[in-house]
Chains A and B, each alone.
Chain A
Amino acid sequence: MIAARIVKKDRADLVFTALADATRREVIRALSREGPSTATGLAASLPVTRQAVTKHLSALADAGLVTATRRGREKLYQLSPRPLTDAVSWMADLGARWDARLAALRDHVSAPRRRR
């Protein structure tokens, strides 16, 4: 467990964690609505401080959900939806695996020669 904690988090893990926060989802919506923006610009349209927005953007950037480019003294953030697609596809795979497992479970339990 300890070893696992210090290893770099899986990308999907970071994505889901980043998206677990309601404010960060708001930040994503704002970026989607307004296009590339600075933390100052985003703070103007969100009910949080610029400092808070900066922290959220930083978490989103770690998850690969936004990319930052420097513009003067500020950074310009924009959405990078690829990790989101990866994460969603991971969930879709998971659902498909359980569909197959449950069908196999039904067949196993229903099998006439089952013993236990």
Chain B
Amino acid sequence: MESIEREITIPAAPAEVWPAVTHSDEISAWFGAEAEIDARPGGRGTFRWPDGTARHVVVEDVEPARRLAFRWLPFERTADGAIVTVPSTRVEITLDEVADGTRVRVVEREAFALGATRVRPGGQALALAGA
């Protein structure tokens, strides 16, 4: 249960779907949050929900008309301005050309704190728990 995978087929070519998943104004039209994202590797992004919460992302991989991957940073700004920690996850959106359009697949995976759970085999597994 460490990841979820969802997909949908859209009756349009990958080149038409791509702007919808990478341009801020277009993302804002379907994501459920107002997006500002620099869809380039290393680019930053912010998503602001109607209830006032906001989260940040870092873009990790971009392969035009094919793949976008970004990581949610592990904290969220709540409506009243507080910062709370939330699970950090990595989202990978892949576009595949299929007979009737584009299959959009989303995989969102819990981004385990790398290096914390497997620091040494059988060793310091508690590094993260104490963080």
Instruction: List the interface of chain A (C-beta within 8 A of B).
Output: 1, 3-10, 12-14, 16-21, 23-24, 48, 52, 55-56, 58-59, 62-63, 87-88, 90-91, 94-95, 97-110, 116
State the majority secondary structure of interface residues on A.
Answer: helix
Q: Separation in Å of the A114 CB from the closest CB of chain B?
A: 8
- The distance in angstroms between the C-alpha atoms of A106 and B73, with both chains bound, is 26
Partner of B108, one of A19, A23, A98, A100: A98
Q: Is the pair B29, A108 in contact by a Cβ cutoff of 8 Å?
A: yes
Query: Once the chains are docked, how many angstroms separate the CA of A101 from the CA of B1?
Result: 20
Residue of B nearest to A21 (CB): B117
Q: How far is the CB of B6 from chain A (nearest CB, A)?
A: 4
A-B pair count, CB < 8 Å, reads: 127
On whether the beta carbons of A18 and B129 are closer than 8 Å, the reply is yes
Q: Chain A contacts of B19 at CB under 8 A? A: 116
User: Within 8 Å CB of A88, what residues of B?
Assistant: 1
**B99 located at the interface, meaning its Cβ lies under 8 Å from any Cβ of chain A in the complex:** no
In whole angstroms, what is the CA distance A26 to B11 when docked?
46
- In the complex, the answer to whether B129 meets A62 with C-beta atoms within 8 Å is yes
Query: How far, in Å, is B108 (CB) from chain A's closest CB?
Result: 6
Binding site for A on B (CB under 8 A): 1-2, 4, 6-12, 16-17, 19-21, 23, 26, 29-32, 73-75, 83-89, 104, 106, 108, 110, 112-113, 116-118, 122, 125-126, 128-131
Are A7 and B17 in contact, with the CB atoms below 8 A? no
Can you name 25 A-B residue pairings with CB atoms under 8 Å?
A4-B75, A8-B85, A10-B84, A10-B87, A16-B87, A17-B112, A17-B116, A17-B117, A19-B2, A24-B125, A48-B122, A58-B126, A59-B126, A62-B126, A91-B1, A94-B108, A95-B6, A101-B32, A102-B106, A103-B8, A105-B21, A108-B20, A108-B26, A108-B29, A109-B16
CB within 8 Å for A4 and B126 given contacts A101-B32, A102-B104, A109-B17 = no
**In the docked arrangement, what's the CA distance between A81 and B98, Å?**
42
